Structure 1
Amino acid sequence: MNEFEVIPAVDMQDGQVVQLVGGERGTETTYGDPVEAATDWVEAGAETLHLVDLDGAFEGERKNADAIDAIVDACEIDLQLGGGIRTAEGARGLLDQGLDRVILGTAAVENPEIVEEISETHPGTVTVSLDAKDGEVVVSGWQEGTGLDPVEAATRYENLGAGAILFTNVDVEGQLDGVRTEPVERLAAAVDIPVIASGGVATIEDILALREAGASAVVVGSALYEGEFTLEDAQQAVEES
């Protein structure tokens, strides 16, 4: 990930693409078939896709595995997957199957050494997801607080071999109400590995603000699916700014 990227999200629940508001189940808007969505984003110019198995995130079981397998077969761009990855063995299996990066949230908080275990055999492939609500890292589908400060956690995972940090601000996630740059600035200043920002993007200006804050990439979901702007327009604005 050398240049700043705008990465479309393909969040999956019950075999459909969805976007949640504030991470709450029951708030989802549905956007159809995940494989169709993924291939559409590739055709639109995406260089990376952010895949999330929400059933896996909430329940710890990867229920959208068939759709994810089909996306791996259909898309020849970088793919990163989070949700329900709980073991080093499971993560290695996904990487060997064709995914480029695995995203660990709950598993990394409960067992930080898993980051080191995976990194030993697949260096640079682990992205640790730090999802923050009211400034505290939360896990289990954003339902449980951990008492962890995102900056302290990010530094620890960098030392364990994480290749990147995915920071999601749950307070603004899915609301199309704008981003908060200060937590991203703090994280980007604290670690040398890439920080991928997520949550709250409503406009192209939000994307540019996150880049200015030090993010290496931004994951966008609702704004793209709701047509607030196109992927092409966002990429063009990044290139021209």
Structure 2
Amino acid sequence: MTQFSTFEVIPAVDMQDGEVVQLVQGERGTEKRYGDPVEAAERWVDAGARTLHLVDLDGAFEGERANAAAVEAIVDAVDVPIQLGGGIRTVDDAASLLDRGVDRVILGTAAVEDPDIVAEISEQYPESVMVSLDAKGGEVVVSGWTEGTGLDPIDAAERYADLGAGAILFTDVDVEGRLEGVRTDRIERLAGAVDIPVVASGGVASLDDVRACREAGAAAVVVGTALYEGAFTLEDALDA
């Protein structure tokens, strides 16, 4: 699988209770709802998205995927690569999703608890594992951003790259969903530490933030709240 041959702007379709939502700093109770996931996915593809970023938030918090029906409907409805995270805890979970048509599985909690899962999946499905390193207060957090691990994001990224990860998803939780801008120094350090693509997420509020992520060395940027709230259009972001 060829990944991110050019810089991409990837719309997020975060799902909770069967609806698209956006959370502030990943906290339950802060969600704003944006309707049907399939309609959102189709809208972003029609606007030019080359990849979609799906997250089963119920799965991330509870450890079991709760929006599987919506995910399958999106896989059937669109014809662009899909990366999916949230509640993927085992090799079998990942394999079933990849066989079903998901292009990349995003592992966060599972990768921290059992790093070898990255190597096991990557051996069967090369370049299909994106490891999610969600940083809050300078450390990697898991379980829907609720538990600290003590892991340094750069050390973790280097380890997962060695284990065969195809990409790193770096989310700056401290600015996630706040529409206050990105912190490019963190992206730049991480992108400079590994030879695999780093996808940035968190804090994007303007087209300048999109450009800043690219200039910091990210291969792509995931955008959620800014697109749903109309801070800019996906077409403008792709042009930027």
Answer whether TM exceeds 0.5 for this pair.
yes
2:171 partner SS: strand
In 2, the alpha carbon distance for the partners of 1:92 and 1:154 equals 22
Runs of 4+ residues deviating >4 angstroms: none
1:83 CA drift (Å):
0.1
What residue in structure 2 maps to residue 234 of structure 1? 237
Partner of 2:52: 49
Alpha-carbon shift at residue 120 of structure 1 (Å): 0.7
For residue 177 of structure 1, the aligned residue among 154, 175, 180 is: 180
Aligned with 1:189 (options 183, 187, 192) = 192
Deviation per residue, 1:90-138 (Å, 9 max, x gap): 1011000000000000000000000000001100000000000011000
Q: What is the root-mean-square deviation in Å for CA atoms of aligned residues?
A: 0.4
- Deviation per CA, 1:34-61, whole angstroms, max 9, x where unpaired? 0000011111110000000000000011
- Does structure 1 residue 156 correspond to structure 2 residue 156? no
Distance 1:33 1:162 in 2: 31
SS at match of 2:28: strand
The TM-score, its normalising length taken from structure 2, stands at: 0.98
In structure 2, give the amino acid aligned to 1:25: R
Q: What amino acid maps onto 1:212 in structure 2?
A: E
- Report sequence identity in percent: 74
- Counterparts of 1:210-221 in structure 2, within 5 Å, are 210-221=213-224
- The offset of 1:77, in angstroms, is 0.2
Kindly provide the CA deviation profile for residues 169-222 of structure 1, in whole angstroms up to 9, marking residues without a partner as x.
Answer: 000000001010111111011000000000000000001011111000000000
Unaligned runs of 5+ in 1: none
Counterpart CA distance in 2 for 1:183 and 1:146 is: 18
Matched, 1:31 2:34: yes
Q: Structure 2 residue aligned with 1:98, among 97, 101, 116? A: 101
Q: Which runs of 5+ in 2 are unaligned?
A: none
Q: How many residue pairs end up in the alignment? A: 237
Q: 2:85 aligns with which of 82, 97, 122?
A: 82
| SS across alignment from 2:226 | helix
Q: Which among 107, 111, 114 is matched to residue 114 of structure 2?
A: 111
CA distance in 1, matches of 2:142, 2:39: 29
Aligned partner letter, 1:46: A
Calculate the TM-score normalised by the size of structure 1: 0.98
Q: Secondary structure, in 3 states, of the residue corresponding to 2:158?
A: helix
